[in-house]
Structure 1
Amino acid sequence: MRLRGIRRSKNVEVRRGGGRAGKAGGVGIVGLLAVLAIGYFTGIDVSPLLNGGGAVQTQQGAPVSQADDKATQFSAQVLATTEDVWTKVFREQLDRTYTPPNLIVFSGVTQSPCGGASGATGPFYCPADQKAYLDTSFFTMLSQRMGAGGDFAAAYVIAHEVAHHVQNQLGILPKVDAARRQSSKVEANALTVRLELMADCLSGIWAANVQGLMERGDLDEALNAARKIGDDHLQRQAGQVPQPHTFTHGTSEQRARWFGRGYDSGNVGQCDTFAANQL
């Protein structure tokens, strides 16, 4: 993904060493499958950084590795692309104004209104504060432990969390959460699957709108990442027989297909998984 020259979002808060840190750049970044001890994308079950330049400001005394700094700045640039895309899509397709989320980039552990966050919970979006949370070590885990390497795969992770914020702004997240509270566990899981597949489709819309930044193989990286975090694949990797009634994110095939649907259509209306007879 070609990010050279791309601005860095100001909507990023950095937290180091389990503390509440400052902002970066002058202005200041549970669909968990416990069998793998990694959360994927919306770990919470309601289911930016530099202003053109400058150095990351962190909590005093907390060490910042080169990898952490690189991941933070990468995240800030990717977040900026989501801001540009969804501002445009909201205006042109929905006749609405988009308000971007904040991205909390942390190392170790941190707290959110939706609960604690760590490398084990993985990235998630918390609708209570309208912020996405990302441990900087997750990109390495994504590549080394999940077999989904590449910078565009990492960007897809961020785009997916932002997609949950889009759902929240459109009023979809609270409606689904209310329906799940009145449903059985199996029914609630099925609703969550539709929510996650919609987020994959919305991520595809983001990807379609940043084609000018994509390099050879980037689309394959995103599709591979979508397949690697399918519930059936993860359960097989854990030595289990896939149990569809326990799925919370969809199969590998479904995740890749809905991402592709968003990418090919570029249309929010094509991402309505709740109106689909078959996922």
Structure 2
Amino acid sequence: MRWEGDRQSDNVEDRRGQGGGGGFGGFGGRTVGIGTLVIALVGGAIFGIDPRTILALLGGGGGPVAVQQAPRSSQQGAPANDRESQFVRTTLAYTEDAWTQVFASQGAQYRPARLVLFENATDTGCGTGRSATGPFYCPADSTVYIDLSFFRLMQQRFNVAGEFAQAYVIAHEVGHHVQNLLGVSDQVHDAQQRASEKQGNALSVKLELQADCFAGVWANRSNQREQILEAGDVETALAAATAIGDDALQRQSQGTVVPDSFTHGSSAQRVRWFTRGLESGQVEQCNTFEARQL
């Protein structure tokens, strides 16, 4: 992936080395993260716990709790300048440029997401965020949170490497931010409150697949603008989407696949919707909620 020398976003806060977040609080139930299933699988393998139990906990089981928006750190200081942080800032800038263009074409103004780099744990607008959740988006403070150790986990546990695969992860979480701006997230969460567990899971799948499609739209727009793609890049993103499909994770962790318990979509679905966004570059092609086939 070509990115060196391009604009870097100012909306990244680096909290690495500042210690973990306070208290024993968990998330308030409205966070969405690409890494949740991965961590459930790893936790299940290490501790012998059914990954579905871990998913229920990480998904905010027991109902939302009231939280306050996390303030910006008063000890932020100058941003780190290592290669990883430069890559993250550049990727976030790509998302800002792409979604500003999309929103402007509809006569609207895009409000960029913030992104926080942290280690172990940190305070968020949705409660205490922990590395064990993987990268996630918190609607309460419009912020993506990432512990960069997740990218090493992707390579070690799932043999998925490459900067474009990492950019796909960031773009997926920013896709949740776009859903939040459009009001899609609130509509889905409201519907889930009135739905059965099976119906709620189906809605979650559609939400996640739309975020995958939005990540594809980002890739299309950014490549048109900056020519970021190199040979093999798309394949690494598709490998990441395949590795974190619900069916692949369930098959690896428990030997069986239970479609009714899917919350993020199968490997084939995740690949299909990312590809759809990548090939079209059009948000209109990402309406998973009215699609005849996911």
Q: Give the TM-score of the pair, scaled to structure 2.
A: 0.80
For 2:86, give the aligned amino acid: Q
Aligned to 2:117: 105
Aligned-pair CA distance for 1:44? 5.5
CA displacement, residues 129-177 of structure 1 (integer Å, 9 cap, x when unaligned): 1101100111111111122111100000000000000011111011111
* Count of residue pairs brought into register by the alignment: 251
SS in 1 for 2:132: coil
Correspondence for 2:220 among 208, 213, 236: 208
The aligned counterpart of 1:273 is 288
Matches within 5 A, 1:192-231: 192-211=204-223, 212-231=227-246
**Alpha-carbon distance, 1:88 to partner:** 0.5
Give the letter aligned to residue 81 of structure 1. Y
Q: Does 1:180 align with 2:192?
A: yes
Confirm or deny: 8 A CA contact 2:20 2:119 kept in the other structure: no
* Alpha-carbon distance in structure 2 between the residues aligned to 1:35 and 1:204: 25
- Contact 2:139-2:177 at 8 Å conserved across structures: yes
Aligned AA for 1:275? Answer: E
1:52-67 correspondence to structure 2 within 5 Å: 57=78
What letter is aligned with 2:42?
L
**Counterpart residue number, 1:255:** 270
In structure 1, the residue corresponding to 2:151 is in which secondary structure? helix
Correspondence for 2:101: 88
Deviation at 1:182, TM superposition (A): 1.1
Unaligned runs of 5+ in 2: 22-31, 45-53, 64-76
Aligned residue for 2:73?
none
Q: Distance in 2 between matches of 1:167 and 1:78?
A: 19
Partners of 2:138 and 2:255 lie apart in 1 by: 30
- The verdict on how the C-alpha distance between 1:157 and 1:167 changes in structure 2, with shifts beyond 3 A counting, is same
Kept in 1, the 8 Å contact 2:138–2:144? The answer is yes
- Structure 1 residue 76 corresponds to structure 2 residue 89: yes
Paired position in structure 1 for 2:159:
147
When the two chains are superposed, the root-mean-square deviation of aligned CA atoms in Å is 2.3
Residue 61 (structure 1) aligns with: none
Match of 1:49 in 2: none
Which aligned runs of 4 or more in structure 1 are off by greater than 6 angstroms? none
Letter in structure 1 aligned against 2:5: G
Deviation at 1:10, TM superposition (A): 0.3
Whole-Å Cα distance in 2 between the matches of residues 275 and 162 of structure 1? 22
- Write the letter of the residue equivalent to 2:287: D
Q: Relative contact order, CA 8 A, sep 6+: which one is greater?
A: 2
Of residues 32, 35, 43, the one that matches 1:37 is 43
Aligned-residue offset at 1:255: 0.2
Q: How has the CA–CA distance of structure 1 residues 115 and 44 changed in structure 2, closer, same or farther, with 3 Å as cutoff?
A: farther
Instruction: Decide whether the 8 Å contact of 1:206 with 1:263 is kept in 2.
Output: yes
Cα distance in structure 2, aligned partners of 1:8 and 1:19 = 26
1:244 is matched with which residue?
A: 259
Task: Give 1:117 deviation, angstroms.
Answer: 2.1
The 1-side partners of 2:15 and 2:125 are apart by 15
- Specify the SS of the correspondent of 1:157: helix
Identity among equivalent positions (%) equals: 50
Alignment match, 1:26: none
Q: 2:142 aligns with which of 106, 110, 130?
A: 130
CA distance in 1, matches of 2:161, 2:59: 24
The CA deviation at 1:201 is 0.5
